[in-house]
Every structure is written in C-alpha cells, then in structure tokens.
Amino acid sequence: MANSHQLKRVDFIFRNENDWEKVLSTTIKKKPQELINALISSELKGRGGAGFPTGLKWKLTAESKEKQKYVICNADEGEPGTFKDREILSRVPYKVLTAMAICGYITGANKGYIYLRGEYKFLLPELNKVIDEFSYYCKEINLDFNIEIFMGSGAYICGEETALMESMEGKRGEPRNKPPFPTQAGYMGKPTVINNVETLVHSFTIFKYGAKKFYDLGVQYSRGTKLFSVSGDTPKPGIYELELGMSLQDFVYEFGDGDTKAVQVGGASGFLVPRKKFKDAAIGFKGKLTGISLPTGGSMMLFNSSRSMFNVLDNYLEFFREESCGQCTPCRVGCQQLLLGIKAVKRGEKPASYLDKLLRLTETMQYTAKCGLGQSVANSFSSIVANFREEMIY
Amino acid sequence: MDPIQTLVKNLADKHGRSRESVLPILQGVVEQEKFLSERSMIEIAREIDIPAADVYGTATFYSFLETKPAGKFIIRVCKTITCAMKGKNQVLFAIQEMLKINLGETTPDKQFTLLETNCLGWCHKAPAMLINDEIYTELTPEKVREILTSHMKANANH
Ligand code: SF4
Ligand code: FES
C-alpha cells in the first residue's frame, strides 16, 4: 500500500565518489549491449518529468547506423519550484560528465553538449574547469569524447528537448513535431540522446553499483531514488534525495509546517493536491500505485492556509502565458484566455459557471496543443479549480 | 571597421559562421553592449549570411537577449510563485524607491535596469534576483539596499 510506505532518505546522488576515473575506465571495457541491458533492467526512467525509460532511449540511439551522433545533457531547468540540477552540477559535475561519456561510448557518439540555462551562467567557469580535466583523462584512456557547454538565454520552453535542439541550431526555441524522435533525428538531424542532469547521475550510480542496487529502491514501476526540490511554506526548504513511491501524507508530515493545505507536485505544470487527498497520493511515475500517482520532475511546493489559491493559479498562468512559445494557437491564445478568465470571475464580471467553460478550454488545450507546455496547463488549472473553487470566486 | 563590426567579426571568428553560432554570437554582443541594436543584428546577419529578420526573430525569442538599451547592471527580480510568496513585492519596492525607476526602466545614468523574470531556480532561498550573472538570494529590503549601494560604490571607484 502506498500510504504505508515510509519516507526514506537516500544518499547516492551527492555521495562524493572520487573514483570517477575508475568507473569510466572499467565501464567502457564492457560491451555496450551488456551496459544497455543493465540500464534497462534497472528500470531507470528519465528524471526530467516525462519519465521515458532511459535504457530504451540509449538502445534506440545505439541501434542507428548513422555515423555522427550526439549526447546532450539537458540542464535547462526552468520548472518553477525546481532547483536540483543546479545543485548536481555544482556539487558532483564529474558524475554527469562520466555518464555522458559512457553514453557516448555505448551509442557511438563522440560529441556531448551540456545545454545550461542562462540563469545558471555563474556555474560556467567552474564547469569548464571540470570539463578540461575530464577531457584530459578521456584522452589518456583513448576515449574519443568531447564535451562542450551551450548557453541558453532565458526561455523556459527550451527545456523541451526538441525546442532545446532548435535553440542549439541557432533558431527560436520552438518545439518540433514528433516523430521523428531525437533518437532518430535530433540535433542537426542526427541521432541524439538527450537526458536530464539527474538522469545521467542515476546512470552513473547504476554503472558503478550495478542495476540491482538501483532497482531495489522504490516501488513497482517507480524504481530508484529521486531528488526533490522542496519550497514554499516549509521549515525545511531544500533538496532531498528520497526513495520513490512515498505517500504525500508522509511527505507533508516530514516537510510541512503543521498547517499545509495543499502541495503542488511537479511544478507549475504539475498537480495540486489538497489536504484531504494526501493519504491517497503517492509520488512516483504514472502507473499502478494505489490511489493517485503523481509523476514529478521533483518540484514540491507547499502551501499553508494563509495562501490564496487564486493567487497561486494566477501566478502559474502568468508564467505560462509568458513562456508559451506562441507557435500553436491552443496554447498561445489558451494561456491568455485562462488568465483573463479567472480574473474576470474573481472581479465578478463573469458568473462562477464560467470556470467550467475555462475547464473545457484546458481540455481542448490538453488534446490540441503541440507540446508538453500547452498540454500540461490543464494539470494545475483543473486541480486547483476543482479543489479550491470557492477561492477562485470570492 | 567600427566597434560593432569588429565585435561581430571577432565573435564570428571565435564561434564560427554557421547558423549554430547565432546564439553564442548574440550572447557575446549582449555581454559587451548590454543589448542588441538594430545595427548589431544587421551586422550579424551579414557576417553569417542569413536574413536580418531571422536574426531578429531569434533574438527576440529569448528573454536574456535585450533588444532595448539597458544599463550596466541588469537587475532581474524573480516573480514566480515562491518568490512572490516570500516577499518579492517588498524587494521590488525597495529597489524602485532607491533607484527611482519603475519596472522596465533604466536609471538616467545608465547604470541600472530593473526587470522581472521567471523562476531563477533558487525557490528554497526565495526571494531571489540576478544582477547580470550574479545571484542574490533570501532578499529583504535592507539586504537589497546594501547590495545596490555596494554596486554603486564599486562603480564610483572606477
Ligand atoms: S504548446 Fe505552447 S509552447 Fe508548445 S509548441 Fe504550442 S505554443 Fe509552443
Ligand atoms: S520562484 Fe523565484 S527562484 Fe523559483
């Protein structure tokens, strides 16, 4: 039962491992197929939010016959309430680089990029130093793998993998149509593995300690650990590595301030869970957890009873309206209309039933918007409106 | 060659002249000039040999690539949820009062530009702001006044 699962702190990600050289040199002595199998059997899923099986992604890229391939580390962390990737890049960057190089070895890519968000530019000097040291070692062991940093310039949508590639190609960061997927045609039209920073670090753990170690943590369909960025009304804001599958109840018990009325799981594009549902909600990937299961990029925002959920929704919508790339109408117009709509209801210019119209609009966006941004606006909108309808009106 | 031409040429020498170099070049110009003038975008278009409209279209997509003149220090105060909950408005008022400008404006001496921005990734230490690339967290009106004062002083000494 999900709600009897205790909160378990783990220390893999930030554990200081000063043997990355050894991990790298011994791992690349194994057969690519063997390593892919390990990754698959660990059941590691992407930690950026979407949760695609990492082993499968690498396998698909490895199978492509193209000569030129790329590995991209997505460090364009922009989901409101998320700050884990920055912490990884400043505390254990060599783990990220090692994982990228191993991925290059497995898939046949000799070029890696870290797409770093503009807001984190201050990390650049330190990161470049680590990369230099790393390349030096790669040369020593005759591994042909080269890593470069590509700086973003302040656009949330560039965290979407195809938008990120457009941006790297010197264009507006507008999401592409899928298929083709990046594993077939990614950066510069070439097969590309693109992984979130945290995902790469987990693969480091798997290569070092074996798939079983990882698999044994977590629950069915949600294996391993996850970094959670905890913020809002909490006495303990910060970053925590926890086993997947915990109940929200346990989470709030540990991190709440005694007066938690709701938790936003997964950032502005995630879901709001009100107090009465804490018991039934488990944190893990969509799947067979009991009750509600909440996939998450790791952002956990707590709100206590002093907060107006109208203000929260208003702030989220403002965010989406600004960050929508504007390429498709449901999202571009939808975000604006939702924002205008809730304000009109609040001011009494529209009746409360107008909220239902807006809910239908979010449904339309969910089905017709081109990428995750427009599709996921419905998550926070409907979960906030459904659970705090009064606060939207009065 | 005038300074803009030289700057763009040097950046193109460094980053290359293919389409993939557009962002690094734009970033390089902003770093130097604080914003992208029409002139500089046309120069980039010429150097890389793509339509100026494409350069403009790309530049305007990114919030850190200013296309309006900006001050030496660009202040970006986070306005996303946690910062909003933890006193971003008070911080903003303190800055406006001290610099005597509104959001979106630049001080007459061209030293400071005040902007808002979306989540900076420091929500556990909200409220947060960037001044150029430098991050400042757990802000209070007092703290902000100190930070600005030290920037003004450092500047006067130059
Ligand atoms: S859903 Fe929004 S962000 Fe995504 S492509 Fe459409 S307009 Fe752009
Ligand atoms: S909400 Fe301001 S830094 Fe995240």
pTM (2 d.p.):
0.96
The reported pLDDT for the residue numbered A162 is 97
- Given a cut of 50, whether residue A2 has pLDDT beyond it is no
Cβ separation A79–B119 shorter than 8 A = yes
The rounded mean pLDDT for chain B is: 96
pLDDT band, very low/low/confident/very high, at A292 (cuts 50, 70, 90): low
The contacts of residue A180 (CB under 8 Å, 6+ apart) are none
The reported pLDDT for the residue numbered B52 is 97
Q: What's the CATH code of the domain at A99?
A: 3.40.50.11540
pLDDT band, very low/low/confident/very high, at A345 (cuts 50, 70, 90): very high
Cβ separation A311–B84 shorter than 8 A = yes
State the Cα–Cα distance between residues B145 and B59, nearest whole angstrom. 32
For ligand 1, atom 4, name the residue with the nearest CA. A371
Q: What's the CATH code of the domain at A229?
A: 3.10.20.600
The reported pLDDT for the residue numbered A287 is 54
Ligand number, closest to the Cα atom of A237 = 2
Identity of residue B121: G
Q: How many percent of chain A have pLDDT more than 90? A: 89
Helix, strand, or coil here: A384?
Answer: helix
Let me know: does A103 contact A109? Beta carbons within 8 Å: yes
Sign of CA dihedral A31, A36, A41, A47: positive
Same domain assignment for residues A320 and A335: yes
Considering only alpha carbons, which residue of chain A is nearest residue B128?
Answer: A119
Of A216, A241, A270, which closes a domain? A216
Of A216, A247, A282, which closes a domain? A216
Ligand 2 centroid vs A323 CA: distance in angstroms? 15
State the Cα–Cα distance between residues A131 and B9, nearest whole angstrom. 27
The reported pLDDT for the residue numbered A296 is 74
In the structure encoding, which two tokens stand for residue B26, read together?
């734009």
Same domain assignment for residues A257 and A374: no
The answer to whether B42 faces chain A, any CB pair under 8 Å, is no
State the Cα–Cα distance between residues A56 and B140, nearest whole angstrom. 47
pLDDT digits (tens, 9 = 90+) for A8-17: 899 999 998 8
Same domain assignment for residues A300 and A334: no
Distance from CA of B139 to the nearest CA of A (A): 15
Same domain assignment for residues A385 and A343: yes
Ligand 2 centroid vs B24 CA: distance in angstroms? 26
The reported pLDDT for the residue numbered A40 is 97
pLDDT digits (tens, 9 = 90+) for A23-74: 999 999 999 999 999 999 999 999 987 889 999 999 999 999 999 999 999 9
Chain A residues in contact with B21 by the CB 8 A cut-off are: 170
Of A181, A216, A251, which closes a domain? A216
Let me know: does A46 contact A195? Beta carbons within 8 Å: yes
Domain extent for A344: 309-393
Same domain assignment for residues A337 and A227: no
To the nearest 10°, report the CA torsion of A302, A305, A310, A315: -30
State the Cα–Cα distance between residues A231 and B154, nearest whole angstrom. 34
Cβ separation B121–A120 shorter than 8 A = yes
The reported pLDDT for the residue numbered A294 is 73
pLDDT digits (tens, 9 = 90+) for A117-171: 999 999 999 999 999 999 999 999 999 999 999 999 999 999 999 999 999 999 9
Distance from CA of A83 to the nearest CA of B (A): 5
Same domain assignment for residues A275 and A170: no
Same domain assignment for residues A278 and A323: no
- Given a cut of 60, whether residue A289 has pLDDT beyond it is no
Sign of CA dihedral B51, B8, B23, B108: negative
The reported pLDDT for the residue numbered A230 is 97
For chain B positions 83-142, those within 8 Å of chain A (CB to CB) are 84-85, 117-126, 130, 133-135
Q: Residues A16, B119, B99, CA angle at the centre, nearest 5°?
A: 115
Class (C level, CATH) for B73-156: alpha beta
The reported pLDDT for the residue numbered A285 is 73
Sign of CA dihedral B141, B146, B147, B152: positive
Q: Is residue A389 part of a domain?
A: yes
DSSP letters of B24-36? Answer: HHHHHHHHHHSS-
Q: How many structural domains are present in chain A?
A: 3
- Given a cut of 70, whether residue B38 has pLDDT beyond it is yes
If you average pLDDT over residues B6-26, what whole number do you get?
97
- Given a cut of 90, whether residue A6 has pLDDT beyond it is no
pLDDT digits (tens, 9 = 90+) for A279-288: 888 888 765 4
pLDDT band, very low/low/confident/very high, at A369 (cuts 50, 70, 90): very high
pLDDT digits (tens, 9 = 90+) for A201-257: 999 999 999 999 999 998 888 899 999 999 999 999 999 999 998 889 999 999 999
The rounded mean pLDDT for chain A is: 94
> Which residues of B fall in the annotated binding site for [2Fe-2S] cluster?
78, 83, 119, 123
Cβ separation A78–B121 shorter than 8 A = yes
Q: Is residue A235 part of a domain?
A: yes
The best mutation among B119, B125, B137, B138 to test binding of ligand 2, ranked by most ligand atoms within 8 Å of the C-beta, falls on B119
The reported pLDDT for the residue numbered B114 is 98
For chain A positions 239-268, those within 8 Å of chain B (CB to CB) are 239, 268
Instruction: Spell out the domain ranges in chain B.
Output: 3-61, 73-156
The reported pLDDT for the residue numbered B137 is 98
Let me know: does A383 contact A272? Beta carbons within 8 Å: yes
If you average pLDDT over residues A348-356, what whole number do you get?
97
If you average pLDDT over residues B127-151, what whole number do you get?
97
pLDDT band, very low/low/confident/very high, at A4 (cuts 50, 70, 90): very low
- Given a cut of 60, whether residue A108 has pLDDT beyond it is yes
State the Cα–Cα distance between residues B78 and B88, nearest whole angstrom. 7
Closest ligand 2 atom, residue B81 Cα: 1
Same domain assignment for residues A277 and A330: no
State the Cα–Cα distance between residues A391 and B23, nearest whole angstrom. 43
The kind and range of the H/E element at A87 are helix A84-91
pLDDT digits (tens, 9 = 90+) for B94-123: 999 999 999 999 999 999 999 999 999 999
Of B123, B130, B133, the CB nearest to A81: B123
Sign of CA dihedral A27, A33, A38, A40: positive
